[in-house]
Every structure is written in C-alpha cells, then in structure tokens.
Structure 1
Amino acid sequence: MDIRHLRYFIAVAEEGHFTRAAERLHMAQPPLSQAIRQLESELGVQLLQRSTRHVSLTAAGHAYLERARGILEELSNASEHARRVAAGSVGHLVIGCVGSVTYSLLPQLSRGLATELPGVDFAFRGEMLVPDQVEALRNGQIDVALLRPPIADLGLTVEPVRQDRLVVALPEGHPLASTERVRMKQLAGSDLIVHSANRRSMMYDVTLGLLRGAGIEPHIRHEVGETSTLVTLVAGGLGVAIVPEPVGALRLDGVVYRPLVQPATTVPLAVAHRSDRHEPHLARAVGVIHRLT
C-alpha cells in the first residue's frame, strides 16, 4: 500500500467530491479516481458510494477513515521525533558529579541543561568519588561524569573544563582561621580529615602529596566518603581538610575556608563519557557543560 493512497482517500472523504479533492491535492481527477479504486481493490472492500454529484462513505469507509487519519498522524509524529533525536533535542542522560561540583555547579548546571535542552530528561547523582564515576560510566549507570583527572581508562573520553585552586577548610576556632591565607608548612601537626583511601579518592593522593612535598608527615584522624561529611567533621572541630575551592559553596556554621599558598595548587575538573557513545543529545549536553563551567 502506498501511503499516498491514504492521503488521497482522506481528501476525497473530507471533500465528498473527487474534483474538489483533486484540486486540494493539486492533481488531475482521473489518477485520483484510479488510486482510490486500487485502494479498494487491495482492501477487498468498498469505501465510497459514488454518484454523479456526491461521494459518501460506506460503513467500512467510515471505519477506515478513522484509522487512516491515525496512521498519518503517527507517521508525522514519528518523523518529527526522528528529526529531534537527530538534532540531539530528546533523550535521557544521567550525570554523575564529584562532591565539589555537587554543591557549587550542580544547581546552575541543572537549570542550564533544562533551559537549553528541554526535551532531554536529565537525572543527577552527586557526591561520587572518581573511581565510582569511572565504573558507573563503564557499566552504563551514568552517561556523563564531572570528575577530577587523571583517568587511566582508555575507553573514556575526558575533556578538561577548568582548573580549581585548593583551599583549606578550618574549624572556626582554629588558630589559622584568623589568617588571610595558609601556607602548607603551617599545617604541620594538624589533624587531617581526608577522603577515603580505600575508595581511591583523587583528593586523598593530592593532599598527602602536598604535605609530604612540604616535609610534613600527615596525621590523618578521619577518612570519609562524602564531601558533606568531611566538611561537617571540620565544622565539628575534628580536624582540617584540603579541598577544591568550589567546596566552599557548602556553607556550614563552624567552618571557614582559606586560600592555600606556597604552593598555590590547582586541581583540574573534566567532563567524561564513554568513547563509544556518539548520541547527538549526549554531545549537545557536553557542549552545554563546557559553556556553563
């Protein structure tokens, strides 16, 4: 069956006249009449009652008209959906974020993505450590990750988006809380709160590397899995922590943040996804993330 036959039949049924239907379709009347006869022959039923002045629908014609309209509407919807998929305007994505992004960037990011890609359904997972993000990307639990390199997995595409400087989170009553900035050597002897080594946190290695580079033997009091827990323990006076500056967006009574100098160090933030993922909506979302960060 040619889909044009459905359009021809609908035009004749709605106009009630072959000549007017032909004019509406911008075609000659004889080919239109022939196409309708072919349609009836293929179906094995009479769809139209014909007279010299008027055309009316049979009972079968009424039933077929309803279904034909539905078919054309679904075809139109399918075509529009395919165009939107090709343009990256529809889809579903889960974005996983490290802790510092969860508090500083996620609110802006969720609003921006919803505004620029309203047809894409976004879900977010916050407070993820980098190893958990990498595993979630591999197994498809998340589609995009905002994480901190280095990443050794060659199956992932990792694109840097910015550098974040490091700061020291201090209890409000700590002697260094009254200073404008903190030198690494001033942290000698301080109790440290760090992200978990067992969960292979990137910040664990960064923190210990900085301290040992300054000749300080780290004194770790607590290891935690979530950034919010880390800051809460600092606010409780249980130690100090070295964190990326965006963590400062997590405001808690009892904790202050001071720039870390000597060395003045930054850590990278990157957006990552599986290298075998090429969906248009994923590429557009990554582009939006670059612009918003």
Structure 2
Amino acid sequence: MDLVRHLQYFVAVAEHRHFGRAATTLGLTQPPVSQGLRRLETHLGLRLIERARDGAMVTAEGAALLPRARLIIEDSRRFLDDAADLLGALHVLRWGATPQLDDEVVARCVDGLRRAMTPAGAPVRTVTADTVQLVSDVRRGVLQLAVVEHPTLVDGVIAGPVVTLNRSVVLPAGHRAAKAKSPRAQMLSDLELATVPREANPAGYDLLLDSLRRRGLDVVIRPAATHRDVSAAVASGGCFGMATGGAPVHTGTVHRRMLVDEVAMRVRIVATAGLDLDHLVYAVDRELLRASR
C-alpha cells in the first residue's frame, strides 16, 4: 500500500468533509479516493471517516490520527524537496584538496572541473583540509569529491586509482645538503621534518616515517600543514620539508631532487557514493596525471 498517497486521501476528505471536493483538490475522480480511503481503514483496522449522503465526518479515531497524517505528508514533501536541492547543488560543485598539493595543481583541477560542469562554467567551491577530514566530508556528502593522500581509509566513498606525484626536498639555502653535488639522506640528520601532523592521515604519516627510517633517518616532526608552513619552517634553518613540482622556491630555501621514492606523494580521488560524478573525476584525474609527468 502507498501509505503517503492514502494518507493524502484521508487528509483531503477530512479537511473538505466531502469526497467529491477532496477528489477535485487532488486532481482525481471520486471513486479512487473513496476506494483508497477504505484500503487505509482496512489496513489500520480503524474507521477514520463516517460516510454520509451529503458529505463525510471525521471519527474520533480519525481526529486523533489526523495531525500525525499531516506531519507524515509534510515530511514526505520535505524529503523530496531536499533531494531536489541536493540534485540542484551539483550545479555548484563543492570539492576538496589536501594542502600538500601546490597551488598550481589545485588551480588546474579547478579549471578542469569548471569546464566539466553542467552547465558549463558553473561555480566550483574549493575546500582545503587534511585527508581524514576530506574523506569524512565526502562520505557525508558535504563535498562531492576530493583529492586525498594515499594510503588512507576510504570506506564509504568511491575511490579512484592512485597517482604518484614527484616531490622535491625543501632545504635551508645554506645547508650542506643544499650545496652538495649529490646530496645523501644522512646529510639531513641534523634537521627536523616539517610535514603534516599524524592526525591528518595516520596511514600516510607512518608510511613516510618508515620509508625514511629505512634510509637511516629517524626524524623529529615539526607540524606544517601547508607549503607556506613548510617554507617558513625550512627558511628558519632547522628543518627540511617536501614540495610538489609546481610549488614556488621561497627565499632562504632550495629544492633538491633526493629521496625520490621516499618523499613521492601518492594521491587519489574520492567521490560521494550514489552520484554520477564520473566526468568530474575524470577531469581531476587528467590534471593529476599531467602533474605527475
């Protein structure tokens, strides 16, 4: 039985006190309304309306249930309205990026998304947050998609393939590793590592530290969420950090290609389940692949 539809029949008859007028307001003829109300009463085992030759009267049981019936109908309308709003929200895309991506990569992704949106050129809203927060926001539908660090837990979302982005090691300009012709990992032993804190993505954090330990580096972490934070920490002389290819080289810092496999950044696109976002995921994936070359 279509409960909401039959409740609409009940409410209409109760309000108009007449089957014919109720049917007119519903855009129906009288027989379907009368039959539907009888099915509802049979299902409930209660008489809701007393039928009379000149109209209809609400019974005591019907009067008691009438407010609840109105609420159910109104909630169903709100549910459909909210669904329509969510569908319409795709005309304003909300997406996120981990702060470890440089500004140029993010800008390319935004441009690709804007061109892939329907209608073309629809607004794109960008959120920068750590990987754990981004996955949570995509899972809850706050964001439609995001670029996050790999590995990380991706339960409850659609996860795309992993893309590897090369990163340089950011060094203080006067440091021995910055001046060496062939810098070695052990040269960084007197520096702290400026990088995102563990809570931003525990799996990725642990993997990075394990990789550096295998190269003889047991580093102390100085939290640095963005490339600006990394550059400021490195320029102070006591840290090294990492930067993707499009990140600018700031005063007091040097970018060197070393520890290539250890510091490479692996990312993937996560998207909200149940939405048709393939064309948008493709647009971002294309820009990430370009940045990886």
* Conserved 8 A contact 1:96-1:125: yes
User: How big is the shift at 1:180?
Assistant: 4.8
* Conserved 8 A contact 1:195-1:227: no
Q: Which amino acid aligns with 2:274?
A: R
1:181–1:206 distance in 2 versus 1, CA, 3 Å: farther
Report the counterpart of residue 183 of structure 1 in structure 2.
184
For residues 156 and 191 of structure 2, the distance between their equivalents in structure 1, rounded to whole angstroms, comes to: 40
Percent identity, aligned pairs only, is 21
For residues 260 and 281 of structure 2, the distance between their equivalents in structure 1, rounded to whole angstroms, comes to: 34
Q: 1:268 aligns with which of 263, 266, 269?
A: 266
User: How big is the shift at 1:130?
Assistant: 0.8
Which secondary structure state, in structure 2, belongs to the residue aligned with residue 271 of structure 1?
strand
For residues 130 and 283 of structure 2, the distance between their equivalents in structure 1, rounded to whole angstroms, comes to: 23
For residues 267 and 283 of structure 2, the distance between their equivalents in structure 1, rounded to whole angstroms, comes to: 15
Root-mean-square deviation over aligned CA pairs: 2.8
Q: Which amino acid aligns with 1:277?
A: G
TM-superposition CA deviations, 1:207-238 (whole Å, max 9, x none): 32122112332233x22333321222112223
Q: Flag the structure with higher strand content.
A: 1
1:223–1:264 distance in 2 versus 1, CA, 3 Å: closer
Report the counterpart of residue 135 of structure 1 in structure 2.
136
For residues 285 and 200 of structure 2, the distance between their equivalents in structure 1, rounded to whole angstroms, comes to: 28
* Conserved 8 A contact 1:169-1:231: yes
* TM-score for both structures, normalised by structure 2: 0.60
Q: Which amino acid aligns with 1:288?
A: A
1:239–1:134 distance in 2 versus 1, CA, 3 Å: same
Q: Which amino acid aligns with 2:165?
A: D
* TM-score for both structures, normalised by structure 1: 0.60
Report the counterpart of residue 125 of structure 1 in structure 2.
127
Q: Which amino acid aligns with 2:100?
A: S
1:194–1:266 distance in 2 versus 1, CA, 3 Å: closer
TM-superposition CA deviations, 1:39-86 (whole Å, max 9, x none): xxxxxxxxxxxxxxxxxxxxxxxxxxxxxxxxxxxxxxxxxxx9xx8x
1:198–1:155 distance in 2 versus 1, CA, 3 Å: closer
1:262–1:107 distance in 2 versus 1, CA, 3 Å: closer
1:263–1:92 distance in 2 versus 1, CA, 3 Å: closer
Report the counterpart of residue 211 of structure 1 in structure 2.
212
Report the counterpart of residue 158 of structure 1 in structure 2.
159
User: How big is the shift at 1:119?
Assistant: 4.7
Ranges in structure 1 where 5+ consecutive residues have no aligned partner: 1-81
Instruction: Decide which structure has the larger Cα Rg and report it.
Output: 1
Report the counterpart of residue 60 of structure 2 in structure 1.
none
Report the counterpart of residue 239 of structure 1 in structure 2.
239
Report the counterpart of residue 249 of structure 2 in structure 1.
251
For residues 144 and 266 of structure 1, the distance between their equivalents in structure 2, rounded to whole angstroms, comes to: 22
For residues 196 and 125 of structure 2, the distance between their equivalents in structure 1, rounded to whole angstroms, comes to: 25
1:265–1:232 distance in 2 versus 1, CA, 3 Å: closer
User: How big is the shift at 1:278?
Assistant: 2.1
Ranges in structure 2 where 5+ consecutive residues have no aligned partner: 1-83, 289-293
